[in-house]
């Protein structure tokens, strides 16, 4: 059961460090890496690069620190970043 407040919307920039998340709708990040349904990880930190609207999420997946990048622009992953609560659930 998710500890999220039902229907609470959040962006990828709103993730909470130390919390665990699971992908519920598959998506592909900026580098073309797929994130399939069921993938889970513990969120560690984020970095935002304003010049390129780059958002890097740092997660612990299976004991490894893994970064994945998104670009917060409408023509790239803007919709993914903005509607992240539709793609992942907090565990």
What average pLDDT does the structure give for the chain?
Answer: 91
- Relative to beta strand 64-71, strand 88-90 is unpaired
Domain assignment present for 3:
no
The domain tally of the chain equals 1
What is the domain range of residue 39? 12-90
Indicate the pTM of the whole model. 0.86
Domain assignment present for 7:
no
Q: Which phi and psi (to 5°) does residue 7 adopt?
A: 65, 10
| Residues 14-54 pLDDT 10s | 999 999 999 999 999 999 999 999 999 999 999 999 889 99
Domain assignment present for 16:
yes
Nearest to 9 by CA among 78, 82, 76: 82
| Residues 51-91 pLDDT 10s | 899 999 999 999 999 999 999 999 999 999 999 999 999 99
Give me the CATH number covering residue 27. Answer: 2.30.30.350
């Amino acid at each position: 059961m998710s500890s999220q407040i039902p229907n609470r919307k959040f962006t990828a920039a709103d993730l909470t460090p130390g919390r665990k998340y699971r992908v519920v709708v598959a998506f592909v990040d900026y580098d073309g890496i797929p994130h399939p349904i069921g993938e889970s990880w513990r969120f560690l930190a984020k970095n935002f690069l304003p010049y390129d609207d780059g958002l890097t999420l740092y997660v612990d997946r299976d004991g490894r620190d893994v970064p994945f990048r998104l670009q917060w622009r409408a023509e790239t992953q803007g919709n993914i970043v903005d509607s992240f609560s539709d793609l992942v659930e907090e565990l």
